[in-house]
Structure 1
């Protein structure tokens, strides 16, 4: 069931991206991850060698960190491909 929902989500996202941007275009990814752990490093690895600008900000209590990534992507499929890679990292919430 979850797989079907994510397919629907990605199909809808692809349509929205195609309708709202001229590609290649800069895209902002936003994630929330636990501060303790390897998730930030794993996310950085996904965007290695892409020219991405990655900013992190810890929550007030330090339990979570928001990760914002601004990167030039060539098309909606490339954007979705990165989301799918990130979805394999445990404990990451995509915004």
Structure 2
């Protein structure tokens, strides 16, 4: 996958989204940022939403974006993969 490109596409979906810069590669940055999004780590613990609600919102945001279909498909695929990993940990 072209993670540099996908990371830029992902950033275009969010204004002022904080990226995890401690990771080394664009793939790690993208996946860790999506994981933080799904776990709602950017919100205060008392107002965090469920994993499923965050997943739904993320997929909806991607689908409603102006990204080309191929980019949408790749980002959704990464979200699904991470969602499955997170679900299996619970």
- Structure number with greater CO (CA < 8 Å, separation at least 6) is 1
Q: Which has the larger radius of gyration?
A: 1
Which structure dedicates a bigger proportion of its chain to strand?
1
TM (norm. structure 1) is 0.31
Which structure dedicates a bigger proportion of its chain to helix?
2
TM (norm. structure 2) is 0.32
